[in-house]
Amino acid sequence: NLTQRLSGIVKNLRGQARLTESNIQDALREVRLALLEADVALPVVKEFIAKVKDAALGQEVIGNLQPGQALIGVVNRELTKLMGEHNDALNLAAVPPAVILMAGLQGAGKTTSSGKLAKLLREQNKKKVLLVSCDVYRPAAIEQLRMLAQQLDVDFFPSDASQKPQDIALAAHDFAKKHHHDVLIVDTAGRLAVDEAMMAEIKDLHAALKPIETLFVVDAMTGQDAVNTAKAFGDALPLTGVILTKLDGDARGGAALSVRQVTGKPIKFVGVSEKPNGLEAFHPERMAQRILGMGDVLSLLEEAQRNVDHAAAEKLAKKMHSGKGFDLNDFKMQIVQMKKMGGMSALMDKLPAQLSQAAANAKVDERQINRTEGIINSMTPFERAHPELIKASRKRRIAAGAGVQVMHVNQLLNQFEQSQKMMKMFSGKGAMAKMMKGMA
Which residues are known binding-site members? Answer: 104-111, 187-191, 245-248
Tally of CB atoms within 10 A around 367:
7
Nearer to ligand GDP (CB atom), residue 84 or residue 109: 109
Confirm if 252 and 39 have CB atoms less than 8 A apart: yes
Is residue 432 within 8 A of residue 426, CB to CB? The reply is yes
CB of 195 to ligand GDP, least distance (A): 15
Site string for Mg ion, 120-149 (x = CB under 5 A): ---------------------x--------
Q: Where are the alpha helices (DSSP H) in 254-342?
A: 254-263, 284-292, 297-307, 310-322, 328-340
Phi, psi at 82, each rounded to 5°? -60, -35
Segment contacting Mg ion (CB under 5 A): 88-96, 102-110, 284-292, 427-435? 102-110
- Report the residue from 84, 97, 266, 278 that binds ligand GDP according to the rule CB under 6 A: 278
Type of residue numbered 229: T
Smallest gap from Cβ 427 to ligand GDP, in A, equals 44
Judge contact between 239 and 216, C-beta under 8 A.
yes
- CA dihedral sign of residues 306, 312, 314, 318: negative
Closest CB 13 distance from ligand GDP, rounded Å = 36
**Contact of 138 with 161, CB cutoff 8 Å:** no
Kindly write out the interface string for residues 193-222 of this chain, putting x where it contacts ligand GDP by CB under 6 A and - elsewhere: ------------------------x-----
Stretch that binds ligand GDP, among 105-113, 122-130, 204-212, 255-263 (CB under 6 A): 105-113
188 binds Mg ion, rule: CB under 5 A: no
Residue number, 291 or 308, with CB nearest to ligand GDP: 291
| Helix, strand, coil percentages in the chain from 3-state DSSP, rounded to 5 | 60, 10, 30
Q: Is 111 in the site for Mg ion (CB under 5 A)?
A: yes
Chosen residue from 111, 214, 229, 258 binding ligand GDP by CB under 6 A:
111
Among Mg ion, ligand GDP, none, residue 188 binds (CB under 5-8 Å by kind): none
**Full DSSP string of 103-133:** E--TTSSHHHHHHHHHHHHHHHH---EEEEE
Q: Is residue 104 at the binding interface for ligand GDP, with CB under 6 A as the rule?
A: yes
Residue 370: count other Cβ atoms within 10 Å of its Cβ.
13
The residue of the chain with the least Cβ separation from ligand GDP equals 271
Instruction: Centre a 10 Å sphere on the Cβ of residue 405 and count the other Cβ atoms it contains.
Output: 13
* Residues of each annotated binding site for GTP: 104-111, 187-191, 245-248
Give the phi and the psi of residue 413 in degrees, each rounded to 5.
-65, -35
**Left if phi > 0, otherwise alpha if psi is -120 to 50, otherwise beta: which for 243?**
beta
Task: Based on the shown chain and the rule CB under 6 A, indicate whether residue 276 belongs to the binding site for ligand GDP.
Answer: no
Using CB under 5 A as the binding rule, whether residue 159 contacts Mg ion is answered as no
110 binds ligand GDP (CB under 6 A): yes
Residue 121 or 431: which CB sits closer to ligand GDP?
A: 121
How many CA atoms, within 13 angstroms, populate the side-chain half-sphere of residue 118?
30
Distance CA 267, CA 3 (A): 22
Among 32, 122, 246, 252, binds ligand GDP (CB under 6 A): 246
Residues in the chain: 440
| Residue 350 touches which of Mg ion, ligand GDP, none (Cβ within 5-8 Å per kind) | none
Which of Mg ion, ligand GDP, none has residue 32 at its interface (CB below 5 to 8 Å by kind)?
Answer: none
Nearer to Mg ion, 150 or 357 (CB): 150
Which one of residues 153, 195, 274, 349 is an interface residue with ligand GDP (CB under 6 A)? Answer: 274
For Mg ion, the closer of residues 190 and 241 by Cβ is 190
Near ligand GDP by CB under 6 A: residue from 23, 106, 368, 418 = 106
- What are the strands, taking DSSP E only, across 139-239? 155-157, 183-187, 213-219
- Residues at the site binding ligand GDP, with contacts judged by CB under 6 A: 104, 106-112, 190, 217, 245-246, 248-249, 271-274, 278
- Residues at the site binding Mg ion, with contacts judged by CB under 5 A: 110-111, 141
